Amino acid sequence: MKHIQVVAAVIIHNNKILCVQRGPAKYEYISKKWEFPGGKLEEGETKLEAIVREIKEELHMEINVDAFLITVKHTYPDFQLTMDTFLCSSITGELTLTEHGDYKWLEKSELSGLDWAAADVPIVEKLNEL
């Protein structure tokens, strides 16, 4: 089974957390699900370099990587995923969607109300412990 190494950012601005919604996908189990933004590492890139690059590419947003949060290992029907997740901050909170269908800035207490991609559920649970 294919294994993918990715990074994700829990971006906080004005005490709210950025949540992004995937567009339609070839796999129904991730299509239109909510997730924390991020993506795959490129060859020779560190995890921190990857998360800064991915957020700049996907959201046209500058972030600061503040702390490591959690590593999630999840097996979907078609691939395995290892996702290193970082707490990040945005100075302006301004963004432009280039790959996602929608976004929301939510209070931590509101996160459980979204239909999350399965690999992102442990991140929501970890945030609720903080």
pLDDT tens-digit readout, 38-59: 999 999 999 999 999 999 999 9
Residue 76 has pLDDT above 90, yes or no: yes
Q: 0.85 exceeded by the pTM?
A: yes
Q: What is the pLDDT of residue 105?
A: 98
Domain boundaries, the chain: 2-129
Residue 34 has pLDDT above 90, yes or no: yes
The CATH number of 2-129 is: 3.90.79.10
Residue 70 has pLDDT above 90, yes or no: yes
When pLDDT is averaged across residues 90-118 and rounded to a whole number, the result is 96
Q: What is the pLDDT of residue 28?
A: 87
As given in the structure block, the two tokens for residue 110 are 């509101």
What is the rounded average pLDDT for all residues in the chain? Answer: 96
As given in the structure block, the two tokens for residue 27 are 């796999």
Q: What is the pLDDT of residue 25?
A: 85
pLDDT tens-digit readout, 2-33: 999 999 999 999 999 999 999 998 888 889 99
